[in-house]
A and B are shown apart, each in its own frame.
Chain A
Amino acid sequence: MTDKSDVLVGDQILISEDVCRIENLVYEKPETLTDTVMHYCPGCGHGVAHRIIMEVVDEMDLQEDTIGVAPVGCSVFAYHYMNIDMQEAAHGRATAVATGIKRVLPDKFVFTYQGDGDLAAIGTAETIHSINRGENILIVFINNAVYGMTSGQMAPTTLEGMTSTTSPYGRDIKTMGHPLKIADMISILPGAHYVTRQAVNTPANVRKAKKAIQKSFEYQKLGKGTCFVEIVSNCPSNWKSTPVESNKFVVEKLIPFYPLGDIKVPKE
């Protein structure tokens, strides 16, 4: 028996109506997120990733000084949700666009938001060379091991044996090549100041990912070079799984291959 003032979600009592009072409010939508309802599939990590970037921009009071570069792919409409000036880039070209912006506006904060197809396939050259030049920007890399928007084709990051619409019998290393660990690869470049791999599958990981983004903005303020935050994420729709199952896949399959944690930490 539950008290009728309790709020039920499924068969669980989550919160009591008693606590829904303004003085108990601890978490608000940052001003830097718009009121637009996000189009992402239920359970997808993009919404969380958007939110933590904008929380950092909000908390560091950088709305007036931040210019984002939106990607091609599911998050192509990032500029509908992020309440900052943004430029939409052609597929793979985000870091080149960011280079152009940052070079003419060196005092502004510039970040790109890119998926695995964008950054690790068609945009590999732009990615590597921007980082090698040490462009003083933040690159946020969402790795969900699949092409989301075009409905589930193989990505450079697709795991061995993992099925996709273009690897229907599983990724065969012999013919399709190996999953690309882009963060490890770029960490050897002198221009990469801070390289880290995070996830947004649990509250604890969300907090760590946010911390990484915060650090990156701080490094950018100091003009340290490129910061690269990979976020291992999920794709319930194209993985043909529920949000809960997709997060299980992240834990059991993706994270073991793409281990979380800092890959390159600046020497203090």
Chain B
Amino acid sequence: MGDVKLMKGNEALAEAAIRSGCDAYFGYPITPQSEVLEYLARELPNRKNAAMKILQAESEVAAINMIYGAAGAGKRAMTTSSSPGISLMQEGLSYIASAELPCLLANINRGGPGLGTIQPAQGDYFQSTKGGGHGDYHLIVLAPSSVQEMADHVRLGFDLADKYRNPVMILSDGAVGQMMEKVEFPEQITNLQVDKPWATVGKPKSRERNIITSLHIDPHEMEAINLRLQEKYKVLKKNEVRYQTFMTDDAEYLIVAYGLAARISQKVVELLREQNVKAGLIRPITLFPFPSEIIKQVGSRVKGILDVEMNAGQMIEDVRLSIEGKTRVEFYGRMGGVIPTPEEIFEHFEKIFLKGESK
């Protein structure tokens, strides 16, 4: 049994990092995620059994490259940022994905584009799930919708990163980062043993030198690396899809939403059920790999799907691809840091599906 605490999502993430055997955190302040570095700076000196090194980098560009170095040296490394900062990290992420370095980052998404606003949003879905940097690659993307999951996804994220030698992103938003909830923590990992024979730790006489690089001038060699990466993504799609369903067994209508939007949408399902409308919810927990099968399975037998996001409609493309045209897929979204209310979503649902009004 671990400890139960009341804290912010960002703090839970930081605490979970300490307990998950994170060796290095390099980050740069940006609202709404600065509490992560602040919490670590405050807590670590008092935690004798945690060996984590932390550093406030001079920029997000430097931070992600410090992660590259530390992850390449075989350590559990982590950074966090928010939308504009994550954009700056894309160069490093492409290199990390190519060099297959396991590491964890969190994007506490805020409203954009540009400098935008510090309010919560989900406008970084495309950037997070479709690559973001140059080249053909994917991050494993986890989407927590509670403070508890902010903590849980840290350990899950590090484990997946190590297992697949792939960077993992926790894609959250300013609300989940800032809200306070009860959270239960697991025990501190004290003696983590992950075999990383490829790491650059100094070359003993007994082995060839280890080289960490993303450079492959020969196009055939580069294609072979790409094919290997694509094979890995296929395995991820087979083994690591995670989602949550809510009242989908008898559902005649389906809402698909992730993160904070899913939490709000659960209330919408309850409001609809009160009106005797059989609605259900699917919440993707992994945005990559995307839970296409369950959406197809449930979605194929419903009258309509409402995709709810805090953006202009990004995940809806994956929902539509999953459903293969078998039912109509509609959208409700708010942008720029505006959080939709359950009532607004309900009204939209009613208008589209129950009153048959056009959009």
Contact = CB atoms under 8 A, between A and B. Distances in A.
A89 B202 contact: no
Contacts of B61: 93, 96, 125-126
Contact of B62 (A64, A87, A96): A96
Contacts of A98: 69
Given A99-B55, A129-B58, A85 B205 contact: no
Contact of A87 (B23, B55, B202, B213): B213
Interface in B136-173: none
A178 B205 CA distance: 47
Interface in A57-72: 63-67, 69-70
B213 A70 contact: yes
B65 A104 contact: no
Nearest to B70: A100
A64 B204 contact: yes
A105 interface: yes
Interface in B170-222: 200-205, 209-215
Contacts of B92: 90, 93
Nearest to B59: A125
B210 A85 contact: yes
A84 interface: yes
Contact of B209 (A85, A90, A96): A85
B203 A97 contact: no
Contact of A64 (B65, B205, B210, B211): B205
A67 B63 CA distance: 19
Contact of B202 (A66, A69, A77): A66
Interface string B43-70: 0000000000101011101110111111
Contact of A88 (B26, B204, B214): B214
24 contacts: A64-B203, A67-B73, A67-B201, A69-B69, A79-B213, A85-B201, A85-B210, A86-B200, A87-B72, A88-B214, A93-B62, A99-B26, A99-B69, A100-B26, A100-B67, A100-B70, A101-B69, A101-B72, A101-B200, A103-B66, A105-B202, A125-B59, A126-B65, A133-B55
